[in-house]
Amino acid sequence: MRTSVVIVGAGPAGLLLGQLLHKAGIDNIILEQRSGDYVLGRIRAGVLEQVSVDLLEEAGAAERMHAEGLPHDGIELLFGGKRHRINLHELTGGKRVMVYGQTEVTRDLMEVRAKAGLTTVYEAQKVQPHDFETDAPRVTYEKDGVQHTIECDFIAGCDGFHGICRASAPKDKIKTFEKVYPFGWLGLLSDTPPVSEELIYAHTERGFALCSQRSQTRSRYYLQVPLTEKVEDWSDERFWEELKLRLDPEARERLVTGPSLEKSIAPLRSFVTEPMRFGRMFLAGDAAHIVPPTGAKGLNLAASDVGYLYTGLKQYYQSGSSEGIDAYSERCLRRIWNAERFSWWMTSLMHKFPDMNDFDVKVQEAELGYIVRSQAGSTSLAENYVGLPLL
Ligand code: APR
Ligand code: PHB
């Protein structure tokens, strides 16, 4: 078998890349180790920057997002028991974010890929990239006990944090940067109307909380919890009680509770791999970097990597120039480090760290006060939150 680009991983990064390449006439095969249902069962963040919206449009997968997604012009910061609105729209000269779940993005991309008749091999086992430092890379895998080889021009490692592509990069050519946070987020999804029209990021003495949403009738809430917590110890009742304790009186009053559809604990991590290209293999999305979810940057970074990779590959196939693919790693990393900085900063600002003393809490509160009172402070938050322009 032969194709132009083998994409490893059918998460949002791999599916988006596959669709964009297809639109540009570049054939590709996606190898995914899990089933389609498993991929769709993962619940992740749900805030899209304009850059991501634009790429989904270009991929022809934006119809349902425009019909059902919720454009948001602001977010709320809750601290000292009060909520303060950050007007993203005004502060950024008319930008906004789109609230639309990653699961739905993935479903839409899967659908357009299936409609286009493109190959995705689900439940591909032992996927392994080879010879990517030569001009003849290939990828091997097993399906139903049969060994397959695909010869290709390029390999795109869109296989997430635990994927095989980064793990296959030569150890002496790769450097990683990492920060692990001493807490996790316990998330709950429920068919209840969101407590507020906009997202609430809450700084409280009991720890951080986030009120997010998927639609007018589906909510997503998070609580900061110690990493030692077990999800089995969190009944729905216990979750709702704790969330109420972290809200202001009005929101507490308005909160509609209900049975959970999903509940899980995710650790928080900052992680970057440099470089993101190894010969004819490129890393994109979570395969190359992780951000803590506080700034909602994970999916958006994956999308912008894919945007750069697609542009570079299109240029290569259409004009023979390797300028775009040569610049890929550097272009991505500039954007990634900005988002890493922002996500780390927002995480540090909003959470209760185990080693913090009263002084540290006062400093967090002073900074939050500065952000909401100062045009410069709130603009800095707003322009990072809606996403910095592509460089
Ligand atoms: N072989 C084939 N597929 C693999 C392998 C492997 N060895 N290892 C992992 N995969 C698959 C996973 O099963 C998964 O479906 O690669 C896919 C990677 O998808 P994601 O983890 O969703 O990563 P990505 O597409 O980069 O999306 C980034 O996900 O975690 C969030 O915050 C993050 O929103 C961001 C988005
Ligand atoms: C979510 O809706 O899951 C979500 C929203 C904003 C974040 C993180 C997660 O910062």
What percent of the chain stands above pLDDT 90?
A: 98
Ordered domains of the chain (ranges, CATH): 2-71+100-179+269-376 (3.50.50.60)
**What is the rounded CA–CA span in Å between residue 132 and residue 197?**
48
**What is the rounded CA–CA span in Å between residue 321 and residue 313?**
9
- 43 Cβ closer than 6 Å to some ligand 1 atom: no
Query: Which ligand has the shortest distance to the CA of 46?
Result: 2
Query: Is 71 considered catalytic here?
Result: no
- 97 Cβ closer than 6 Å to some ligand 2 atom: no
Mean pLDDT confidence for 187-197: 98
Query: Is 72 considered catalytic here?
Result: yes
Q: Give the chain's mean pLDDT.
A: 97
CB 340 within 8 A of CB 350: no
pLDDT of residue 364: 98
Confidence grade of residue 389 (pLDDT, cut at 50, 70, 90)? confident
Confidence grade of residue 150 (pLDDT, cut at 50, 70, 90)? very high
- The helix/strand/coil state of 29 is strand
Distance of CA 9 from the midpoint of ligand 1 (Å): 6
The number of the ligand 1 atom at minimal distance from the alpha carbon of 293 is 32
The number of the ligand 2 atom at minimal distance from the alpha carbon of 101 is 2
CB 8 within 8 A of CB 158: yes
Query: Is 293 considered catalytic here?
Result: yes
* Cβ contacts of 159-164, under 8 Å, gap ≥ 24: 159/8, 159/9, 159/11, 159/14, 159/33, 159/127, 159/287, 160/9, 160/11, 160/285, 160/286, 160/287, 161/271, 161/286, 161/287, 161/290, 163/8, 163/9, 163/286, 163/287, 164/8, 164/127, 164/128, 164/129
Going through the chain in order, the beta strands assigned E by DSSP cover 5-8, 28-31, 47-48, 70-72, 74-79, 82-87, 97-99, 120-121, 125-130, 138-143, 146-151, 154-157, 175-190, 200-202, 209-213, 219-225, 260-274, 277-278, 281-283, 289-290
Q: Measured in Å, how far apart are the chain's first and last C-alpha atoms?
A: 37
Say which of 263, 297, 308, 310 is annotated catalytic: 297
If one residue of 286, 289, 343 were mutated to test the ligand 1 pocket, choosing by the most ligand atoms within 8 A of its CB, it would be 286
The number of the ligand 1 atom at minimal distance from the alpha carbon of 124 is 2
pLDDT of residue 176: 98
- Chain CA centroid to CA 3, Å: 28
Distance of CA 163 from the midpoint of ligand 1 (Å): 7
Q: Which helix (H) or strand (E) holds 256?
A: none
- 339 Cβ closer than 6 Å to some ligand 1 atom: no
pLDDT digits (tens, 9 = 90+) for 356-368: 999 999 999 999 9
Say which of 100, 141, 181, 201 is annotated catalytic: 201
What percent of the chain stands above pLDDT 70?
A: 100
- 293 Cβ closer than 6 Å to some ligand 2 atom: yes
Say which of 72, 95, 203, 263 is annotated catalytic: 72
Q: Which candidate, 188, 212, 217, places its Cα nearest to that of 198?
A: 212
**What is the rounded CA–CA span in Å between residue 200 and residue 263?**
19
Query: Which ligand has the shortest distance to the CA of 221?
Result: 2
Distance of CA 7 from the midpoint of ligand 2 (Å): 27
pLDDT of residue 253: 97
DSSP 3-state percent helix, strand, coil across the chain (nearest 5): 40, 25, 30
- 296 Cβ closer than 6 Å to some ligand 2 atom: yes
- 300 Cβ closer than 6 Å to some ligand 1 atom: no
Residue with tokens 């040569």: 326
Q: Which candidate, 118, 36, 107, places its Cα nearest to that of 65?
A: 107
pLDDT digits (tens, 9 = 90+) for 79-101: 999 999 999 999 999 999 999 99
Query: Which ligand has the shortest distance to the CA of 309?
Result: 1
Residues in the chain, how many? 391
Query: Which ligand has the shortest distance to the CA of 30?
Result: 1
- 102 Cβ closer than 6 Å to some ligand 1 atom: yes
Query: Is 221 considered catalytic here?
Result: no
Longest CA pairwise span in the chain (Å): 63
pLDDT of residue 177: 98
pLDDT digits (tens, 9 = 90+) for 278-323: 999 999 999 999 999 999 999 999 999 999 999 999 999 999 999 9
Encoded amino acid at 378, one letter: S
- Does residue 343 carry a pLDDT above 80? yes
Encoded amino acid at 66, one letter: H
Q: Is the pTM of this model over 0.85?
A: yes
The number of the ligand 1 atom at minimal distance from the alpha carbon of 34 is 13
- Does residue 372 carry a pLDDT above 80? yes
Query: Is 122 considered catalytic here?
Result: no
pLDDT of residue 45: 87
